[in-house]
Structure 1
Amino acid sequence: MSSSLAPAARGSRMAMLVIALCWLVVLFDGLDMFIYGSALPHMLEQHALGLEPSMAGDLGSYATFGMLVGALSSGTLTDLIGRKKMIMSCTALFSLASALCAAASTVTVFGLGRTLAGLGLGGLLPTAITMVSDYAPRARGAFVIGTLMTAHHAGGILSAYVALWIVEPLGWRAAFWVCVVPLVIAVPLVARYMPESLSFLVAKGRTTEAHDLAARYDVEIPAAKDPQAAGDRWYALAQLFRGREWIQTLMFWLASFGGLLLVYGVATWLPTMMRNEGYELGSSLNFVVVFNLGGIVGMLVAGRCADRFGAARISAIWFVLTAVGVYLLSVHMPLGLTFTVVFVTGLFLNSAQTMIYATVAGYSTSANRATAVGWTSGMGRFGAVFGPWLGGQLLANGAADWGFTAFALSAVFSTVFITLAGLRMSRRNPEQPAARSVTATA
Structure 2
Amino acid sequence: MTTDRVSFGDVSAQAGDAPTVNINTVIDEAKFGSFHRQVLFWCLLIIIFDGYDLVIYGVALPLLMEQWSLTAVEAGMLASSALAGMMFGAMIFGALADRIGRKKAIMLCTAFFSGFTFLGAFAPSPTEFAVLRFLAGLGIGGVMPNLVALTSEYAPKKLRATMVSIMFSGYAVGGIISALLGSFLVKDYGWEIMFYLAGIPLLGFPLIWKFLPESVTFLVKDNQQDKARHIIGKLLPSANLPANATLVLNEIPAQAASAQSDKKQSAFVQLFTEGRAFGTLMFWVAFFMCLLMTYTLSSWLPKLMLSAGYSLGASILFLFALNIGAMIGAIAGGFLADKFHLKPVIVTMCALAAVSISALAINSPPVILYTLVAVAGATTIGTSILLYSYLAQFYPLHIRTTGIGCASAVSRVGAIVGPVMTGAILAMNLPHAYNFLAIGIPALLATIAMAVLKRA
Q: Structure 2-normalised TM-score?
A: 0.83
What is the CA–CA distance in structure 2 between the aligned matches of 1:347 and 1:334, rounded to whole Å? 20
What is the Cα deviation at residue 305 of structure 1?
3.5
CA deviation after TM superposition for structure 1 residue 141, in Å: 2.7
Tell me the CA shift for residue 119 of structure 1: 0.4
Name the SS for the 2:413 alignment partner.
helix
1:222–1:267 CA distance, 2 compared to 1 (3 A) = farther
Q: Which structure's CA Rg is the greater one?
A: 2
- Residue 217 of structure 1 deviates from its aligned partner by 4.9
2:269 maps to which residue?
Answer: 238
Is the aligned partner of 1:52 residue 2:68? no
- Count of aligned pairs between the two proteins: 413
* Equivalence map 1:403-442=2 (5 Å): 403-421=435-453, 425=454
Decide whether the 8 Å contact of 2:425 with 2:435 is kept in 1. yes
Q: Which of 181, 190, 194 is equivalent to 1:175?
A: 194
Of residues 29, 40, 43, the one that matches 2:50 is: 29
Which segment is superposed worse, 246-255 or 127-136?
127-136
Q: How does 1:37-116 map to 2 (within 5 A)?
A: 37-44=58-65, 47-116=66-135
* 2:376 aligns with one of 345, 351, 374: 345
> 5+ residue gaps in structure 1?
1-8, 426-431, 436-442
Which of 296-305 and 135-144 deviates more? 135-144
Partner of 2:147: 128
Q: Is the 8 A contact 1:277 1:330 kept in 2?
A: no
Q: How does 1:197-236 map to 2 (within 5 A)?
A: 197-218=215-236, 223-224=248-249, 235-236=266-267
Q: Percent identity?
A: 33
Greater displacement, 268-277 / 128-137: 128-137
User: Alignment RMSD, CA only?
Assistant: 2.8
1:254 corresponds, among 263, 285, 300, to 285
CA distance in 1, matches of 2:38, 2:340: 34
Amino acid at match of 1:388: P
Please tell me whether the aligned partners of residues 298 and 347 of structure 1 are also in contact (alpha carbons under 8 angstroms).
yes
- Contact 1:64–1:385 (Cα < 8 Å) also in 2: yes
Given the superposition, is the C-alpha separation of residues 345 and 272 from structure 1 closer, same or farther in structure 2, using an over 3 Å criterion? Answer: same
- In 1, Cα distance between the equivalents of 2:303 and 2:247? 47
Q: Specify whether residues 254 and 136 from structure 1 end up closer, same or farther in structure 2 by C-alpha distance, changes over 3 A only.
A: closer
Aligned residue in 2 for 1:438: none
Question: What SS does structure 1 have at the residue aligned with 2:358?
Answer: helix
TM-aligned CA distance change 1:363 to 1:130, over 3 Å: closer
* Structure 2 CA distance for partners of 1:72 and 1:201, relative to 1, 3 Å: same
368-377 or 52-61, which deviates more: 368-377
In structure 1, the partner of 2:349 is 318
2:10 aligned residue: none
Confirm or deny: 8 A CA contact 2:85 2:134 kept in the other structure. yes
Equivalence for 1:159: 178
CA distance in 2, matches of 1:411, 1:25: 29
Q: Contact conserved, 2:162 with 2:335, CA < 8 A, in 1?
A: no
**Which range moved further: 131-140 or 319-328?**
131-140
Gaps of 5+ in 2: 1-29
Of the structure 1 ranges 169-178 and 218-227, higher mean CA displacement relative to structure 2 is found in: 218-227
Which secondary structure state, in structure 1, belongs to the residue aligned with residue 361 of structure 2? coil
List per-residue Cα deviations over 1:63-85 (Å, max 9, x = no partner).
11111111122221112222221
- Equivalent in the alignment of 1:192: 210
**Residue 345 to residue 216, structure 1, CA distance change in 2 (3 Å):** closer
Question: In the alignment, which residue of structure 2 is the partner of 1:440?
Answer: none
Determine the C-alpha separation between the residues in 1 that align with 2:86 and 2:310: 31
Partner Cα separation in structure 2 for residue 318 and residue 218 of structure 1: 36
Of residues 283, 292, 315, the one that matches 2:323 is 292
**Deviation (angstroms), 1:377:** 2.3
Measure the CA separation in 1 of the matches of 2:249 and 2:393.
Answer: 24
TM-score in terms of structure 1 length: 0.86
| Cα pair 1:146 1:299 within 8 Å, conserved | yes
Q: Which moved more, 1:75-84 or 1:348-357?
A: 348-357
Closer, same or farther: CA 205–385 of 1 in aligned 2, 3 Å: same
Amino acid at match of 1:223: V
